[in-house]
Amino acid sequence: MKTFATLSVVVLLAACSAPQGEATKFEATAAPQPQTATTEAAASAAPMADMPAGATMASASGKVEAVDTTAGTVTIAHGPVEALKWPAMTMTFKAGDIDISGLKSGDQVDFEFTSTGMDGTLTKITRE
């Protein structure tokens, strides 16, 4: 009976413990890996941090049709936007953080913006 009891304890202990190789493997994959970025990579990612999910950056040139400082919008008749596969059109953009008070109807502008679907928000605008 002593032999049976001793053998049972050994079998139970063996069945309850995980093999060392598996435990080590799990710990290695579960440990978080530090992430490092170069200054160049971090700098190029910085503007993307403020972009809404699914937004695309693009640029275009056009003519200001209207400026509404109260609503914070600028309507621009712009040329094609290759990055978004848009044809030339007239569109109203949100000003975002851009100061639009110096713009007026008829100004020729180059501009950059983020687009989520057909919603555009200016990130930069300069008169030609």
113 within a domain of the structure (yes/no): yes
Q: What is the pLDDT of residues 45-67, one digit of tens each?
A: 444 445 556 789 999 999 999 99
66 within a domain of the structure (yes/no): yes
Residue 74 is part of a domain; what is its CATH number? 2.40.50.320
Residues 6+ apart with CB under 8 A from 104: 64, 67
**What is the domain range of residue 77?**
54-127
17 within a domain of the structure (yes/no): no
- Over residues 100-128, the mean pLDDT reads 95
pTM of the complete model: 0.60
> Total structural domains in the chain?
1
Number of Cβ within a 10 Å radius of residue 14: 9
33 within a domain of the structure (yes/no): no
Distance CA 42, CA 112 (A): 21
87 within a domain of the structure (yes/no): yes
Q: Which residues of 77-114 are buried (b: 16+ CB within 10 A; e: fewer)?
A: ebeebeeeebeeeebebbbeebebeebeeebebebebb
